[in-house]
Amino acid sequence: MKTKVKLILITGDGGDGWVSFRKEKFAPRGGPDGGDGGNGGDIVFRPNRDIWDLRSFEEDQVLKSGDGGNGGKSKKNGKKGEDLIIDVPVNTLIKVSGKETVVINNKYVTLLRGGDGGRGNRTFKNSTNQEPLLAESGDGGVKVGVELEIKDLPEVALFGLSNSGKTYILNKLTNMAAKEADYSFTTTTPNIAEIKSDIENIKIIEIPDFINYKKASKYTHLLADIKVLVVIINHNDNTKEIYEQMMQNITGKTPASCAKILILNRFVETTKEPSLGIEQDRVFCVIDGKIDVGKLKSLIAKLTKEPPKETAPSVQEVFIHEPPIIKGFERPNFSYSGGVVEIFDNKLVRIAKGSNLSKPEAQLQFHNLLNKSGYLKAFEDAGVTKGSIIKFGEVEMEFK
């Protein structure tokens, strides 16, 4: 059973805005009609009661949502990127960058938003620019490291020596149909399932291979929150000695309030039950492959009722990454060194990237945008000389 895992989550990029013009019979180049790009896909966590652990992430630990589609002509907006929905066990804790924590209980949690889609050229139309050639590239997604940890561990644990009948009892209690065999080490990893009843479902785990404590000890952390420990031992002359040794091995690994149930497998009616200090109504015998399953289930349900575990409140939406909403130009934000100007204004960077600045008309419109936003005056004040290179991310222009 895997209870912790580290993942890299990447949200989708926003799609690019489009540059196009309406074409009609008597208006070969009508007004701008370039559509906006679609937003990138979000990353959403969904609680799933049919999932018990995090083993599904062992091979795929880098997960990405879909990119948004580009805008198109005739005011067609790009498609939103496909959301990535990640199923996890109920009551899973998410640690983001070692700071943020989110507990998933009964509701979806939108953890990360995708990048915003870029604006098409129709949004750049104004009274002084009726034929805009500028558009905006989509905002990039975000890459975040997270750690998942299961907080809702099993309430009941089955354990015993190898080949003591643990899987047989698990199947009887849960109808799980796990593999059974009459030889050692049939179970090599923990099995986990639910005991279903009309009132509530109880999570139960089978701990494998307790004949070798060093090997089994890597699973004892799963016993930290259990309410009932079901010990299964083959009935023979060494039953008491084996039981005492097993209890010694897990001392301090289970809560002090943990109740114990003993199941004596392969019990022969003509023999005497060993005295192990367990109340008589908590001792069960498997005789000729049969056990009173109904009585065992009822006892487990009774012992797990009090007190109930506290669960953290559900959180419906948490946006660790919310793409910035660009309403207007910020104050000029750039650096100038060695004849190179580097622009840090994300709005301008996205417009430069989303426009075809190889066209003189587009260059002129972009120049006017720089002037309107105060950058040309700021360049002059900073002593930027003609011929300097202005970098907008990957896009470069010469300052003239």
Least confident residue range of 106-110, 213-217, 309-313, 391-395: 309-313
The pLDDT tens digits of the residues spanning 2-40 come to 888 999 999 999 999 999 998 877 666 678 999 999 999
Per-residue pLDDT at 145: 93
Summarize the confidence of residues 29-53 as an average pLDDT.
90
Beta pairing class for 143-150 and 202-206? unpaired
| Cβ contacts of 215 within 8 Å, gap of 6 or more | 209
Would you say the C-alpha torsion 138, 139, 145, 148 has a positive or negative sign? negative
Least confident residue range of 80-89, 164-173, 216-225, 232-241: 216-225
Per-residue pLDDT at 136: 97
pLDDT-based confidence at 212, cuts 50/70/90? low
pLDDT-based confidence at 309, cuts 50/70/90? very low
Give the 3-state DSSP-derived string for 244-300, with helices as H, strands as E and coil as C. Answer: HHHHHHCCCCCCCCCEEEEEEECCCCCCCCCCCCCCHHHEEECECCECCHHHHHHHH
- The one-character DSSP state at 37 is P
pLDDT-based confidence at 321, cuts 50/70/90? low
Summarize the confidence of residues 161-169 as an average pLDDT.
79
Percent of the chain with pLDDT over 90: 45
Per-residue pLDDT at 201: 82
Bridge partners, 340 (sequence order): 337, 389
Per-residue pLDDT at 207: 81
Domains of the chain: 1-151+311-325 (2.70.210.12), 156-304 (3.40.50.300), 334-398 (3.30.300.350)
Q: What is the mean pLDDT of the chain?
A: 84
| Cβ contacts of 352 within 8 Å, gap of 6 or more | 343, 366, 392, 393, 395, 397
